[in-house]
Amino acid sequence: MRVWMNVMAKGNVFESVLMLMVKSRRGKEKETAPPEDVAVGSMRARRSTGVKIWETPLDDFVQAPRGHGDVPYRPTWRDGPLYKHEAAYQAELFYEKMGDTHSIRSNTCFEKHIHKPDLRALGCYEKIVKLDWEEVLDFRGNESGEVYLRSVMEWLSTLTKNNGSDPPRTVTLTGKVNGKPTTMSLASLSQVSKFDSKADSFYTFIKEDDYYNDQKKIVGGNVIYLELFLLDKGVAMKRDNLKPLVRVLLSLVVSNVTPRMRDMMGVQNWELVVLFALMTGQVHFPFRQLVMLHIWQSRNKRQEKLIPHARLINGFLRKHGVAPISDKPFEKPHATWSIAKMCTGDRIRHVKTKLWHKIKFGDGAKLKVLQWGKQPPSQGEMDDLDSSEEEVLRLRREVGFQVGEGGSR
C-alpha cells in the first residue's frame, strides 16, 4: 500500500512538471508568433489597461489607403480637366461638381424655340441659312419638352474621347447609360436631325485648342474687331462694347449654339468667331462639331457647372435606343427666343410699335428694325411709332396744333 502511494505521488509530481513545461512552451510560442494580419487602420484594445494600440505604422497614413471598406478613399478634384483623373473616380467627381437635383436643373441649358420672324426682321435668317444651320433653328427635341436628365447625367459622367485617325473630323465621345456604351460622332448627330447637310468640304473644321485659346488662327483679330465691336468704346470683352445687332445675336448664340449661363454681361473669345461667322458668312463652322466641343469642355472643366444641349443629348440617346434610367422624365416646356424675350431686364428696353422693333440698351446704344412682313412708310408718310409714349405725345401735339390753326381761320 505504501509503495503504491509513493508511485502515485511520483506520478503527480511528474504530471505537474509536465504541465509546467507545456505552459512554458506555449508562452514561448506566443512570444515568437508572427503579428496578426490586421486590416489597414484597425486597432485593438488591451483589456487590462484600456489603452488603444494602432497596428498600422504612421508612415502608412501619408497617402489615403484605397480598396479598404473601413477607410474609404475620397477622390478630390483640385485642378486640371476631369479626363486626366483616374477613370474609376471621374463619375463621382462629375456628380459632386454638379451638386443636388435643384443645382443640376438650374444649370442645364435647354435649347429654346426660335421665333423666325424676328430673325428675318434682324436680317439674320439669311445669314444662318448661308451657314447651313436651318436645322439648328428648327430643332426642338421632344415636342412635349420631356428630358431624361438622369440618363443625360450618367452619359456625361462616364464620357471618354477618341480622336480617331483624322481629327477633328473623326473625334467621337462615348458614354454609358445603364452599362450600354453610346458613341456621339458627326454621323450619329446627323441621325438625330439633318444638321450640316452639305458636303464636308463646305465646312471649316477647327482644332479644339485654336477654338478656345488661339482664335487668331481661325480669323484675324483685327477683322473680328472691325466687324463686331464699337471701336470708339474699345475691344474689352464686354457685351456693351459690341455693336447693337451683335448683342442681339449673342443672346441667341449662348442659348442654342455655344451654351453658357454665367457672366452674361461679358463675351467669350470663342463666341467672337461664331458671331463673326453669323455676321459675315465667311467661315462655315459645322454645328455638330461645336456641339461636341462644348459638351466635352463643360464636362471636364471644374468651374463649369453646366449641362449644354440637354435636349439634343436626350434626343441622341433616345435615337440610339438607350433605355432611360428613370421612367419619369423632367418636364421642361420650351422657352422662346425672340426680340421681346431677349429684352428682359433692367438694362434693355424694347418697344414694339405697329411697324418697328425699337431696342435701347443700358449704355444708350439703340437698334431699330422693321417688323417682318411690314412695309416701311413711304416718303412723306407719317412714320407710325404711336405705341411709344414719346410718339403719342408728339402726335397729340401735332393734332392739337392743326386744330388750333383751323379754328383761328
Q: Is 302 exposed, middle or buried (0-12, 13-18, 19+ CB in 10 A)?
A: middle
Q: Is residue 174 part of a domain?
A: yes
Give me the residue label for grid cell 479598404: 68
Which pLDDT belongs to residue 155? 97
Give the β-pairing of 43-45 and 52-54: antiparallel
Residues 310 and 219 in one domain: yes
Whether the CB-CB separation of 252 and 197 falls below 8 Å is answered with no
Whether the CB-CB separation of 356 and 339 falls below 8 Å is answered with no
Q: Which of 283, 290, 289, 293 is nearest to 204 (CA)?
A: 283
Q: Which of 299, 339, 327 is nearest to 81 (CA)?
A: 299
Residues 221 and 298 in one domain: yes
Q: Is residue 203 part of a domain?
A: yes
Report the residue count for the chain: 409
Give the β-pairing of 366-370 and 356-361: antiparallel
Give me the residue label for grid cell 485654336: 210
Q: Is residue 45 part of a domain?
A: no
The DSSP output letter for 376 is P
Which pLDDT belongs to residue 344? 83
Q: Is residue 249 part of a domain?
A: yes
Residues 376 and 289 in one domain: no
Residues 244 and 360 in one domain: no
Q: Which three cell numbers stand for residue 131?
A: 451657314
Q: Is residue 218 part of a domain?
A: yes
Residues 224 and 362 in one domain: no
Residues 262 and 352 in one domain: no
Which pLDDT belongs to residue 298? 97
Which pLDDT belongs to residue 327? 74
Give me the residue label for grid cell 455655344: 258
Whether the CB-CB separation of 325 and 315 falls below 8 Å is answered with no
Q: Is 5 exposed, middle or buried (0-12, 13-18, 19+ CB in 10 A)?
A: exposed
Q: Is residue 21 part of a domain?
A: no
pLDDT tens for each residue of the chain, 409 residues long? 444 445 444 455 455 545 555 455 555 444 444 433 333 333 333 233 333 323 333 333 233 334 445 556 778 899 999 999 999 999 999 999 999 999 999 999 999 999 999 999 999 999 999 999 999 999 999 889 999 999 999 999 999 999 999 999 999 999 999 999 999 999 999 999 999 999 999 999 999 999 999 999 999 888 999 999 997 777 789 999 999 999 999 999 999 999 999 888 999 999 999 999 999 999 999 999 999 999 999 999 999 999 999 999 999 999 999 988 877 899 999 999 999 999 887 789 999 999 999 999 999 999 999 999 999 887 655 565 544 444 555 555 555 544 344 433 3
Count CB atoms within 10 A of the CB of residue 263.
11
Q: Is residue 61 part of a domain?
A: no
Q: Is residue 226 part of a domain?
A: yes
Residues 364 and 335 in one domain: no
Residues 273 and 360 in one domain: no
> What strands, in cross-sheet order, belong to the sheet with 366-370?
348-352, 356-361, 366-370
Which pLDDT belongs to residue 396? 55
Residues 307 and 389 in one domain: no
Residues 361 and 316 in one domain: no
- The H or E element containing residue 349 is strand 348-352
Q: Which three cell numbers stand for residue 323?
A: 433605355
Distance CA 291, CA 279 (A): 20
Residues 228 and 206 in one domain: yes
Which pLDDT belongs to residue 82? 97
Residues 202 and 91 in one domain: yes
Give SS3 for 88: helix
Distance CA 318, CA 85 (A): 29
Check whether the bond before 167 is cis (ω within 30° of 0). Answer: no
Which pLDDT belongs to residue 264? 87
Which pLDDT belongs to residue 75? 82
How many helices and strands in the chain, by DSSP H and E? 16, 12
Domain housing 181: 82-342
Which pLDDT belongs to residue 370? 94
Which pLDDT belongs to residue 380? 53
- The count of structural domains within the chain is 2
